[in-house]
Amino acid sequence: MVDVGELPPTSPPPGNDREQRAKQLEPGPLSSALRGWLVTLAVALIGGVVRFWNLGFPTDKGTPLFDEKHYVPQAAQALRNGGYEDNPGYELIVHPPLGKQLIAIGQWLFGYDGLGWRFASALAGTIVILLVVRIARRLTRSDLLGAIAGVLMIADGLNHVQTRMGMLDAFVTLFVVVAFACLVVDRDQMRARLAVAVREGWVNNSVYGPSLGFRWWRFGAGVAIGLACGVKWSGAWYIPFFGLLLVLSTATARRTAGVARPWVGAILRDVLPSLFALVVLPLLTYLATWWSWFASETAIDRHVVGQKIPDDSWVPTPLRALWYYSGNVLEFHNNLVTSETNRHPWESKPWTWPMGLRPMLYYYEGSVTGCGAASCVGAIMLVGTPAMWWLAFPVLGWAVWRSIAHLDWRYTAVLVGYAAGLLPWFVNVDRQMYFFYAMPMAPFLVLGITLALGDILGKASAGKERRGTGLLVVALYVGLVVANFVWLWPVLNGVPITPEMWEAQHWLPSWR
């Protein structure tokens, strides 16, 4: 019996077939790089202006708002101590240090005030807008749709408010989107390499297909996921989801290339490197984010080995200390459950997140001036723009249809990213949860809507009437989203409004 791994190379397919397969593997053409970057930077600049406008307002009588009260003081500790928190009496240091170190950069630049607290978050949000434009452009091969995705990202109320808060979720979102962008580019690069192998006739030298060499973009995705974990542990959920997406894209590319055993080839050729890229590398990156804690003498639980726990293991002492510290943090998270008698008034559960049915009130002041009336209200409400979020289920349904019926990998990739931000929270629904946990879902919702708008717009080769009708529908929808965002602007930014206007902003009973 001949082992299949030792089968002689199959003869290369005829020239016409090779060329056809190669064209199927190659991504479609993009516009000029210059025009693409001009569009990207223009949209990102607008997004930056919107995110940074009056960033230091409001505060709670000069102090942080809502959960800023946890992370802003911890960031100040990190700035004072060279990167780590050192107050063991403060029982809510329950996340890794990277996000607080990033907040500390703003405090170092601008001081301990609203601008300093929020600078890093606003910068992260602006970069996400830029990345979403680039991702959408690559997915659709269209500068127009890339720009539309950026406009939708700018006009998302959840992303807008959260990137103007000194909290951690903007950084998780940034690193998740970076990882996704790397995987999208990696897919194009991997398929381009396979196209070369097909054209040159050596793609079937092995029944498993060729080795594709070192994939730097996959490497970058692993680093980005590790950085997300270094902000919040929820970043770890993207490891299995993105890992599955990576193997799926590799196997389907090998099948398109005509590899005899594409799935086995993907497992043999790609799973081990992918495990390194998306498991080992994130772990190493995550540990690296604790650099200041490892180097410290006074960080929380840094020297528990030999004191609270015995020094009787071959595992290095710093890693044992971190394991102990992390165990305490995990215990906190496990015990952070909904109380029947003391429920947080703005808590929400993950089944409400896709449509943003339970927003959050971050700030309310009932005696402000400046609205032109005798009585004015100032408020900040974390709410997703309804013109986008209320379409979540139709968009998801369309994405599932396109993925299954048309094998459209773009929708599949977006679904995977969206699911990674939503489904893991159903594991423990008794835990206290809030709508800002859904922030990493927003870019994938925007990308899903953009892909659907691309289908409505139609191909450039479509008839003039078809293209014109599609363009009209897309323009009307984008205008609706922007108008909805403008309507919500006062309650997204704390702008003084009349009590009547404040009441009009509550579209659903659950928004109260």
User: What's residue 51's pLDDT?
Assistant: 97
Tokens coding 75: 């960031």
Q: What are phi and psi of 487, to 5 degrees?
A: -60, -40
359 Rama class: left (phi>0) / alpha (psi -120 to 50) / beta? beta
User: E strands along 270-313, which residues?
Assistant: none
Cβ contact 209:267 at 8 Å = no
Name the H helices within 83-168.
98-110, 114-140, 143-154, 157-162
**Range 358-366, long-range pairs (CB < 8 A, 24+ positions):** 358/435, 358/510, 358/511, 359/383, 359/384, 359/435, 359/511, 360/66, 360/434, 360/435, 360/436, 362/65, 362/66, 362/161, 362/165, 363/58, 363/60, 363/65, 363/66, 363/494, 365/58, 365/494
Comparing CA positions, the residue from 300, 294, 291, 308 lying closest to residue 325 is: 300
User: What's residue 320's pLDDT?
Assistant: 92
Query: What is the dihedral sign for C-alpha 444, 447, 453, 458?
Result: negative
In whole angstroms, what is the distance from residue 302 CA to residue 322 CA? 7
- Tokens 């001081």, residue? 111
Task: Tell me the C-alpha to C-alpha distance, in Å, between residue 6 and each of 197, 207, 269.
Answer: 20, 9, 15
User: What's residue 462's pLDDT?
Assistant: 77
In whole angstroms, what is the distance from residue 315 CA to residue 301 CA? 16
User: What's residue 38's pLDDT?
Assistant: 96
Q: What are phi and psi of 489, to 5 degrees?
A: -45, -45
Could you tell me the pLDDT band of residue 90, with boundaries at 50, 70 and 90? low
Instruction: Examine the pLDDT at 331 and tell me if it is beyond 90.
Output: no
Q: What are phi and psi of 496, to 5 degrees?
A: -60, 135
Taking residues 98-117, what's their average pLDDT? 97
In whole angstroms, what is the distance from residue 38 CA to residue 409 CA? 27
Tokens coding 209: 């297909």
User: What's residue 412's pLDDT?
Assistant: 97
Taking residues 452-457, what's their average pLDDT? 96
In whole angstroms, what is the distance from residue 141 CA to residue 27 CA? 9
Taking residues 56-74, what's their average pLDDT? 93
User: What's residue 92's pLDDT?
Assistant: 67
User: E strands along 205-317, which residues?
Assistant: none
Write the pLDDT tens digit of every residue in 297-328: 888 888 888 888 888 888 899 999 999 988 88
Q: How many residues does the chain have?
A: 512
Cβ contact 148:453 at 8 Å = yes
The model's pTM: 0.94
Could you tell me the pLDDT band of residue 408, with boundaries at 50, 70 and 90? very high
- Tokens 């019926």, residue? 405
- Portion of the chain with pLDDT greater than 90, in percent: 71
Instruction: Examine the pLDDT at 156 and tell me if it is beyond 90.
Output: yes
Write the pLDDT tens digit of every residue in 333-390: 777 787 776 778 889 999 999 999 999 999 999 889 998 898 999 999 999 999 999 9
User: E strands along 147-257, which residues?
Assistant: none
In whole angstroms, what is the distance from residue 381 CA to residue 115 CA? 19
Task: Tell me the C-alpha to C-alpha distance, in Å, between residue 245 and each of 175, 182, 411, 439.
Answer: 17, 12, 12, 21
Write the pLDDT tens digit of every residue in 3-60: 333 344 444 555 567 788 888 888 878 888 999 999 999 999 999 999 999 999 999 9
Cβ contact 361:380 at 8 Å = yes
Comparing CA positions, the residue from 30, 145, 39 lying closest to residue 446 is: 145
Report the alpha-carbon angle 148-361-425, nearest 5.
70
Name the average pLDDT for the chain.
91
The residues spanned by each domain of the chain are 14-300+336-511
User: What's residue 103's pLDDT?
Assistant: 98
Q: What are phi and psi of 10, to 5 degrees?
A: -75, 150
Compute how many other C-beta atoms are within 10 angstroms of the C-beta atom of residue 373: 14
Write the pLDDT tens digit of every residue in 391-405: 999 999 999 999 999
User: What's residue 16's pLDDT?
Assistant: 66
